[in-house]
Amino acid sequence: MSSAFAFPATHARALGRSPLGPRPLVARSIRPVRVSSRPALRAARAAADAVVDKAAHNDEQSALRDEMVSGCTECTMPFESERASALANAALADHTRLSAIAKDASERDDGCSKMALRALVVGAETGKLSKALLEHGATHVLVLDHSRLMLDRAAEQFDGSETPGVVGNETGARFARADVCDVPAYQGPFDVVVFNDSLRHQADPVEALRRAVLLTRPGARVVVSERVSEESTEETENAFDVDALVEDLPLQSIFDDPKRGKTMMRMTRDDDSSSEIHETSPSFTERLPTRTSETYLDHRCGSVTHTYEVPPLFKLRDRVVLNAPVVEGFGRGSRLMGVPTANLDPAVLEDELAGMRRGVYFGYARLPEDAKHGKWCKCVVNVGARPTFADGEGVTVEVHALRDFGRDFYGENMEVVVLGFLRPEMRFDGLSALVARIMADIGLARGALDERACRERVDETVGFQASDE
């Protein structure tokens, strides 16, 4: 089906009404696989088939969901009120952004913060969740669904005095008939994403999660809630393993201890107060002994809920110092990406790498033997296997220094003090998506490194001498 975002804003803001009007539901057949001896052609055809399959899948979902909302919604979507408040709680209780908004408001003369807290809800259901999110502190809620009828029904929650905002920056709820993978970046960044009994029904759940996470900002919550039907067995439930789906994404369960959590080995949180984020309401959540520690079955509303957090900036508890000669890489950084990376020889860094998770870090770098460039400058560092590309094996340590050296320095020693962690490494759909994310990493690193505390940790013995650039 078409995405609301493929159309001008004036169309997209129609409340839950498809910009195309009612569409006949045409059952599309899946094309037979054609095998081509030309790899590029084969890849292009596979991509085209995938698109057709996804459109057919989404049309099917749209029809199913139209049907769900046409009959007794108590039967098709039981415990909606309970689910709405439980999910709003999981999404927003102790959210770092809410604390920031409260602090901002207290510092203003009028007591009104101008900061926004944006939520993305995938799966409209009865609309109660969007209302609960607004009541719990969200300022903007964008609700997506494939079903026009479901969106219309959800928008009715706001009938009367509480007309939802419909234009880009107005506060309130907006409803759009669209696929989560088609939401453009400018709709975000989101502080909360809720898959409202919808992840399982995505054409490609991992892709849907990945796209959603790319729309978030550090510290955001991602909540995945799946209804457990009476027919479901432990086997069918375990077959859809949400924890496994997020394994490769920059997400960690909010129930993890960051000191030993999946993503944060050897690291401490940037903000001590955020370590207070814990289970939101133990009275109605209960650990399921057969599942992983991050999974909670809410018996009051028959749903399994997973709550994750996009890591805020993590400072390393112990700074890591890397000192190694610069070696040849793949020749791609400067030429293709516009981001030159000095590849440090991994062979001399075995000890340091043993304690570092694969991912993107920030810190300070310098060429200690160079009189002109001996001062520290900000840098981002990728320690990883570059999953976006098929070439090359093994872990590389690549440093992009945020300054212009005016020359290459292969063979020279580079010294790097790694101070913080930004995110795990991910596979991107090509160069431009990767470069866009690297630019965001650079922005986050600059902000973090401007902090005085960061500067003071760089060189405690000789004092900090930063380059002016």
Q: Which residues form the interface with ligand ADP (CB under 6 A)?
A: 326, 328-335, 340-343, 399-401, 403, 405, 408-410
The answer to whether 426 contacts ligand RBF (rule: CB under 6 A) is: yes
Triad 293, 118, 429: Cα angle to 5°: 70
Choose the one of ligand ADP, ligand RBF, Mg ion, none that binds residue 438, judging by a C-beta under 5 to 8 angstroms depending on kind.
Answer: ligand RBF
In the list Mg ion, ligand ADP, ligand RBF, none, the entry touching 405 (Cβ below 5 to 8 angstroms by class) is: ligand ADP
Q: How far is the CB of 432 from Mg ion (least distance, A)?
A: 18
**What is the amino acid identity at position 411?**
G
- Our answer to whether residue 398 is catalytic in this structure is yes
Give the Cβ contact number of residue 113 at 10 Å: 17
Residues 6+ apart with CB under 8 A from 236: none
**Are residues 288 and 340 in contact, defined by beta-carbon separation less than 8 angstroms?**
no
Which of ligand RBF, Mg ion, ligand ADP, none has residue 268 at its interface (CB below 5 to 8 Å by kind)? none
The answer to whether the CB of 125 falls within 8 A of the CB of 197 is: yes
If the CB atoms of residues 338 and 387 are measured against ligand RBF, the closer one turns out to be 387
Q: Interface with ligand RBF includes 363 (CB under 6 A)?
A: no
Bridge-based pairing state of the strands 140-145 and 172-177? parallel
Q: Residue 333 interacts with ligand RBF (CB under 6 A)?
A: yes
> Which residue, 390 or 462, is less far from ligand RBF as judged by CB?
390
Q: How far is the CB of 326 from Mg ion (least distance, A)?
A: 9
Distance CA 151, CA 129 (A): 13
Options 237, 398, 415, 425, the catalytic residue: 398
Give the pairing type, strands 314-327 and 216-227.
unpaired
Which of 191, 352, 398, 415 is close enough to bind ligand RBF by CB under 6 A? 398
Nearer to Mg ion, 62 or 343 (CB): 343
Site for ligand RBF in 429-468 (CB under 6 A): 434, 438, 441
Nearer to ligand ADP, 284 or 330 (CB): 330
Site stretch for Mg ion (CB under 5 A), options 295-303, 343-351, 360-368, 423-431: 343-351
Residue from 79, 240, 284, 330 binding ligand RBF (CB under 6 A): 330
Q: Report what 326 binds from ligand ADP, Mg ion, ligand RBF, none; CB cut-off 5-8 Å by kind.
A: ligand ADP
Q: Which stretch binds ligand RBF (CB under 6 A): 14-22, 265-273, 279-287, 382-390?
A: 382-390
Number of H helices, E strands in the chain: 13, 16
Pairing mode of beta strands 190-196, 216-227:
parallel
Nearest CA to 434 out of 311, 331, 335, 337 is that of: 337
CB of 387 to ligand ADP, least distance (A): 17
- The CA-to-CA distance between both ends of the chain, in Å, stands at 49
Omega prior to 164 cis, within 30 of 0 = no
Of 345, 380, 343, nearest to 364 by C-alpha is 380
* Residue 382 Cβ vs ligand RBF, minimum distance, rounded to whole Å: 3
**How far apart (Å, rounded) are the C-alpha atoms in residues 396 and 169?**
42
| Contacts of the segment 152-155: beta carbons below 8 A, 24+ positions apart | 152/15, 152/16, 152/17, 153/69, 153/73, 153/124, 153/126, 153/127, 154/16, 154/124, 154/125, 154/126, 154/127, 154/130, 155/15, 155/16, 155/127
- Tokens for 231, please give them: 């027919």
β-pairing, 295-298 vs 359-366, is unpaired
Task: Closer to ligand ADP by CB, 18 or 341: give it.
Answer: 341
| Binding partner selected for residue 387 from Mg ion, ligand RBF, ligand ADP, none, CB under the kind-specific 5 to 8 Å limit | ligand RBF
Contact at 8 Å (CB) between 375 and 458? no
Q: What is the 3-state secondary structure (H, E, C) of 423-452?
A: EECCCCCCHHHHHHHHHHHHHHHHHHHCCH
Binders of Mg ion among residues 306 to 335 (CB under 5 A) are: 329, 333
Q: Please identify, among the stretches 70-78, 240-248, 325-333, 449-457, the one whose residues bind ligand RBF according to the rule CB under 6 A.
A: 325-333
Q: How far is the CB of 398 from ligand ADP (least distance, A)?
A: 7
Name the residue number minimizing CB distance to ligand RBF: 388
Taking each helix axis as running N to C, give the angle between helix 39-70 and helix 148-155, from 0 to 180 degrees, rounded to the nearest 10.
Answer: 50
Smaller CB separation from ligand ADP, 276 or 328: 328
Q: How many residues does the chain have?
A: 469
Active site residues: 398
Binding site for Mg ion (CB under 5 A): 329, 333, 341, 343
Binding site for ligand RBF (CB under 6 A): 329-330, 332-333, 339, 341, 360, 380, 382, 386-389, 398, 400, 425-426, 428, 434, 438, 441
